[in-house]
Chains A and B, each alone.
Chain A
Amino acid sequence: MISSFPKLLNATLITLKLLSVSLIVGLILGILFSIMRINKNLIINKLAYGYSYFFRGTPLLVQIFIIYFGLGQLEFIRSSFLWIFLKEPYWCAIIAFSLNTGAYTSEILRSAFETIKPGLIEAGKSLGIQSKIIFFKIQIPIAIRQSLPAYGNEIILMLKGTSLASTVTLMDLTGVAKYIISTTFKPIEVFIVAGGIYLFLTFLIHNLIKFLEKKYSF
């Protein structure tokens, strides 16, 4: 049980790397698509809705497999510069996670934008503030505060989601745990250690979000 600890800690670094990169990319995607969702143009709106519907309606495992096993089948992708990324399981996992968390983030932000009282925007308008400034200085700060609790949940879901990287040969925390279990046949001990690490990370994220909520509350 103790001998497996350093190996699992090493693997935790990979899990954290996967998590942080895909959260950053996912956040950017989420912001883009949530702005598309509140757009009044029907085509743009439906496009963003389709994106989030697909990624929220299918299992993450399917998404990873499509990107890792599926895309390599296409000749034009293999000959393009994209192949540099798509041949590596690491980047495939990150692309899948980013697209997935981007879809959930866009929904969280959209509902946050929708809960902003129209009076606030109207007040800004009647004060003669430019609509760009209204968006960046009024809508975005309120939306961020509104969406913090839900986004915290999303980070924890994504932390658990990164465990799927082990299905495309990446040795993240779950991958290493599975490897140790299948070689030593001590499922319970390994589960306690690996599960403990995940719980500790969840605990940290939970408290970080709580701290941010307090800091930005009004």
Chain B
Amino acid sequence: MELLAFGKTGWGDELFIATLMTLAVSITAILIGFLFALIFTPLKLSKNKILNLIANCYTTVIRGVPELLVIYLFFFGGSGAVMYVASIFGYNDYIEINAFITGSFAIGIISGAYSTEVFRGAIQSIDKGQFEASKVLGLKKPIHFFKVIMPQMLRLAIPNLSNVWQITLKDTSLISVTGLVEIMRQSYIAAGSTRDPLFFYSFAAVLYLLLTFLSMKFINRLEIKYSKGY
């Protein structure tokens, strides 16, 4: 237990901060994922074949390629791409992107592909009558979407979104390869300097279990909240 002491003698405080970092990356990533889903779900459902194809390419490629490969692409290619865009606007200095941003963006794009599929499935399983009814009532488009479709969609999507959250949370461990100090990276550092990898990696496993366990409890509550009235 000495190894986990807070302060200078142990790794407790470092691991605690690393856990917060994991949570921060996961939440940022899943929100970025929702943004992507917000863009690509309408494309997936659209009747335009080209838009459809774009969205299908996105979800198929991202879901078919290992997460680690996507992270390497962003890690090695990210600053190059940003510098290229900046050079168009006449800025030619070296730009380094922070590991947090690259990491959460990479994981966000991955989680966005899964979220898109979840939202598509949820919208498609809403009864057709609901769409027609709100059209017949002459509801405006935003009201139709936010007041009629969205609440029903969320109820159907939350159980699957909890899976997406779990995948996202576990994927953040892969960002450790880019040097961002989250649970995995911190355990790696601690294991290296104390020569006790078994203890620290097992402790990392416990931390992840704790995170998944607690978030499941929270999501179950949300599920109950959104299934009110059914």
- Inter-chain contacts of A156 with B (CB < 8 A): 63-64
Please classify the interface of chain B as helix (H, G, I), strand (E, B), loop, or mixed, using the class held by over half of its residues. helix
Choice from A53, A70, A164, A188 contacting B73 with Cβ under 8 Å:
A188
Query: Nearest A residue to B80 by beta-carbon distance?
Result: A187
CA distance A53 to B80 in the complex (A): 41
Interface stretch, picked from A33-41, A122-130, A177-185, A208-216, is: A177-185
Given the complex of chains A and B, what is the CA–CA distance between A204 and B209 in angstroms? Answer: 34
Q: Is A52 an interface residue (CB 8 A)?
A: no
Q: Which of A148-178 contact B (CB under 8 A)?
A: 156, 159-164, 166-167, 174, 177-178
Once bound together, how far apart are the Cα atoms of A187 and B73, in whole Å? 6
In whole angstroms, how far apart are the Cα atoms of A69 and B198 in the complex? 7
Instruction: Tell me which of A62, A174, A187 contacts B184 (CB under 8 A).
Output: A62
> Among B77, B191, B212, which residue has its beta carbon within 8 angstroms of that of A187?
B77
Q: Given A70-B201, A191-B77, check contact A61 B72 (CB 8 Å).
A: no
Q: Does B6 contact A (CB under 8 A)?
A: no
Task: Confirm or deny: B60 has a beta carbon within 8 angstroms of a beta carbon on chain A.
Answer: yes
Q: Are A198 and B197 in contact (CB under 8 A)?
A: no
The reply to whether A73 and B72 contact each other, CB–CB distance below 8 Å, is no
Task: Decide if B66 is an interface residue (CB 8 Å cutoff).
Answer: yes
Q: Does B170 contact A (CB under 8 A)?
A: yes
Instruction: Point out residues on B near A: beta carbons under 8 Å.
Output: 60-61, 63-69, 72-73, 76-77, 80, 166, 170-171, 173-174, 176-177, 184, 187-188, 191, 195-199, 201-202, 204-205, 208-209, 212-213
